[in-house]
Amino acid sequence: MVNDIPLETWNKTDESTVLLSLNKNNDGHSKSVYDAYQGRILILFLAFTLLIFTFAISAVDLWSDLGSNDGDQPVQSSLHPIAIVDGHFSFETSEYLVRCAPIVRCDSGNKYRTANGTCNNLNNPIWGSSNTPFVRLVKAHYSDGISKLRVSSENNKPLPSAREIQIRLFLNKQSKIPDKNNQLLMQWGQFIAHDVSNLAVDTDGRDCCLYGPDLPSCEATIKIPVDDPVYSEYNKTCMRFTRAMTSNNYSCPLQPSTFMDDASHFIDGSQIYGSNDYIMTSLRSFTDGTLKSVTADDGQEFCPHSSEESPSGANKYFYNSGDSRINMNLGLALFHNMFMRFHNYVAFKLKSANSTLSDETLFQESRRIVGAVIQHVTYTQFLPIILGKNYTENIILVDSKYDPSVNPSTSQEFSAGAFRVLHNIVPAQQRLVDSNYTTVRVINVTDWMNRPYLLQEQSSNFDNLLRGMLYTGGRSSQHSYNYLISNFMFHPDNSVIGTDLLSYDIQRGRDTGLPPYNKMRELCGLSVAYSYDDLADVIQSDDIYKLEELYDSVNDIDFLVGALLETPEDDALVGKTSRCVIGDFFRRSRTGDRFFYDNDAEHPGKFSKDKLEVIKSISLDHVICATSLVDHLQNNSFTKIDNGWYSSMKWDCDEKYKIDFKPWEEEHCSN
């Protein structure tokens, strides 16, 4: 059949005409010429075949390179600028999986999450579990390729001191523009950060400024300029900084430095319940599914007091919860106590709805509901404000499909970089507001760090602080941290001087090998900056000028520094690179979580339609109404409402914020 096709249609060269004419001759000369041309055709055919084969091999190699992605540039999905990478994360953690990962056996019939997050993914049981590595979106950046802090790409000199960057770029950028959001928004962000990320620090209490590089854990102390506008008054020239623990501290020596997440990577309430069975068991009362608590004289419940005494003196205590950072500030202590109360409230309601349930079932079902509520509040109330409503709806919540090929683990760039940009909305002060909406006390946030006992100092303080955070405007998103946390974090009782959080965050990025800002720009769809002028697409000109003074090369700029200087996107509070990295985590955390409250995964713990409707009706307002004496709330608990002009925009808890537990009654006691 091939002979029916004229040869000219295959080859329009002169040879084709000659060959056609040769077919009409039958003499010996023609035969020899024909044989010669036939040999040429064979050679051409073999050459062409070899060319095709070589091209195919090259294409396969290229595809393999894209799949393994062992360079700086990861493969991006069609949901650009979110960096969801098939196979990329397994590449970054493959050595851990081979050398150090525990063997885990799973029961696919389990209805509830494990405490440590194992067996969420039945094909990859340790994905997202506690004490496993943070994944990287871009390879680690160290000067020696292993652990030494980055140096200038221009001349191998040390990067500018983190404190010098703070002073020259950020410290004087303090804006008091009123914010439409209240202080609960910031606090929810920190509450969620502690749910999915816990980076242990290698410290034994020694002052690293006294030891310096003689101790490996102390080699990254922060140099303070001699003319520092704050610290020079106290003759302070060194800021303490201790390097984070690596996988080496977990009996898993890996290179380059690999960092472990002590929390489960899922949004599962681990900051309340703990990220392992030991902690979870220690927090349970084993009575009617409740968590342990202490009862104050007025009947209010609080988290158990820790056996560790506060350094502030007698009757000063720490709280005990699923995450030790509960005592870091009053807002965190407030949320931990609130959700301990909410768990016990849910357990009581379930017991009332179904008296046949055991303590174990009551505890696990209450935990399942509380975790679902935390997810629902995060994705429907928190993220639309942080990332923008349209972005959240069209990128993060675009579908509810569970994908077992998606690794939900927290990324290093999210934990040590992008999500820390939100420290720019931490307020300097908080108010305690009584039931008459009168401010009864104003406190500096830095004066009450690791001093949580103020919540119980007076019986009304819990509700007064909650009311104050509800009705006080937050710090507007801006290119700086507030002045107090920029100078006086964690100061001891006998001194006003403390730590600079922004310097600390910049240095932690270097410690954990975060890529420079230019690499993150490229990852998130911005053009690579070949000069400082190329930064003008997202950074203001006066800031670009200061960056050029500080850094020897545009390729040296720290990720956090560039991200903090970016102009916020659309209706978001963060710029493009931060939104890209934050969005990446929350998209993967939803898509890669088999137990996520509203996905389509079929498993024994999937909520029934009626129960899911109840979960979706619950907001943070419902939690506040169930756990406090605050009795009137606005429609969105992250929005500031003035009690004078807009008091009519608030609803009574008994009228609007009741939770329906009917689907959990005895006749509906299945999923």
- What pLDDT score was predicted for residue 647? 57
Least confident among 35-44, 328-337, 529-538: 35-44
**CB 252, CB 95: distance < 8 Å:** no
pLDDT in tens, 539-573: 999 999 999 999 999 999 999 999 999 999 989 99
Burial of 498 (0-12, 13-18, 19+ CB in 10 A): middle
Does residue 385 have a pLDDT over 90?
A: yes
pLDDT at 41: 45
pLDDT digits (tens, 9 = 90+) for 350-382: 999 999 999 999 999 999 999 999 999 999 999
As given in the structure block, the two tokens for residue 549 are: 């003074």
Residue 22 placed within a domain: no
The span from the CA of 594 to the CA of 600, in Å, is 9
Q: Which helix (H) or strand (E) holds 634?
A: strand 632-634
- Tell whether 533 and 426 lie within a shared domain: yes
Are 256 and 309 part of one and the same domain? no
Work out whether strand 238-239 and strand 260-261 pair parallel, antiparallel, or are unpaired: unpaired
Torsion angles phi and psi, residue 634, rounded to 5: -75, 170
Q: What's the CATH code of the domain at 116? A: 1.10.640.10
Name the pLDDT band for 520 (thresholds 50, 70, 90).
Answer: very high
For residue 71, which of 151, 138, 146, 141 has the smallest C-alpha distance? 138
Say whether pLDDT at 305 is over 90.
yes
Residue 140 lies in a domain: yes
Condensed to tens digits (0 to 9), the pLDDT of residues 489-509 reads 988 877 778 999 999 999 999
Mean pLDDT of the chain: 86
| Cα–Cα dist 70/273, whole Å | 37
Rounded distance, CA 371 to CA 628, Å? 20
pLDDT category at 187 given cuts 50, 70, 90 is very high
d(CA 127, CA 119): 8
Token duo for residue 190: 């920190």
**Residue 376 assigned ligand-binding role:** no
Same domain, residue pair 443 and 507? yes
Give the helix ranges, DSSP H, for 69-176.
88-99, 162-165
Element (H, E) at 188: helix 183-196
Q: Does 76 map to a domain?
A: no
Same domain for 214 and 179, yes or no, is yes
Using CA atoms, how far apart are residues 487 and 575, in angstroms rounded to an integer?
25
Mean predicted confidence (pLDDT) in 513-526 = 96
Q: Are 313 and 236 members of one domain?
A: no
Co-location of 471 and 356 in the same domain: no
Residues 247, 100 share a domain: yes
With vertex at residue 34, the alpha carbon angle to CA 30 and CA 39, rounded to the nearest 5 degrees, is 155
In terms of C-beta density within 10 A (0-12 exposed, 13-18 middle, 19 or more buried), how is residue 78 classed? exposed
- One domain for residues 124 and 173: yes
Tell me if 451 sits within 8 A of 444, measured CB to CB.
no
Query: Cβ-count burial of 577 within 10 angstroms (0-12 exposed, 13-18 middle, 19+ buried)?
Result: buried
Instruction: Tell me the per-residue pLDDT of 387-411, one tens digit each, with 9 for 90 and over.
Output: 999 999 999 998 889 999 999 999 9
Instruction: Assess whether pLDDT exceeds 70 at residue 56.
Output: no
Would you say residue 36 lies in a domain?
no
- 480 and 336 in one domain? no
Q: State how many domains the chain has.
A: 2
Cα–Cα nearest to 406, from 77, 15, 37:
77
Q: Where are the alpha helices (H) located in 69-151, listed in sequence order?
A: 88-99
Give backbone dihedrals phi and psi of 151, rounded to 5 degrees, phi first.
-125, 175
Please check whether residues 460 and 442 belong to one and the same domain.
yes
Domain-terminating residue out of 570, 601, 621: 570
- Distance between CA atoms of residues 568 and 355, nearest Å: 51
C-alpha 377/C-alpha 618 separation (Å) is 8
| Domain presence at residue 62 | no
Residue 624 lies in a domain: yes
Q: Are residues 117 and 147 in the same domain?
A: yes
How high is the pLDDT of residue 671?
Answer: 65
Assess if residue 295 is contained within a domain. yes
Range of the domain at 636: 270-414+591-664
**Positive/negative CA dihedral, 278, 334, 505, 450:** negative
Q: What does the pLDDT read at residue 310? A: 61
Note whether 144 and 209 are same-domain residues: yes
Give the residues across from 284 on adjacent strands: 291
Residue 281 banded pLDDT, cuts 50, 70, 90 = very high
> Per the domain annotation, does 195 fall within a domain?
no
CB count in 10 Å sphere of residue 307: 8
Angle between helices 609-617 and 359-377 (to 10 degrees): 50
The residues annotated as belonging to the active site are 194
Give ∠ CA 100-244-146 in degrees, rounded to 5.
65
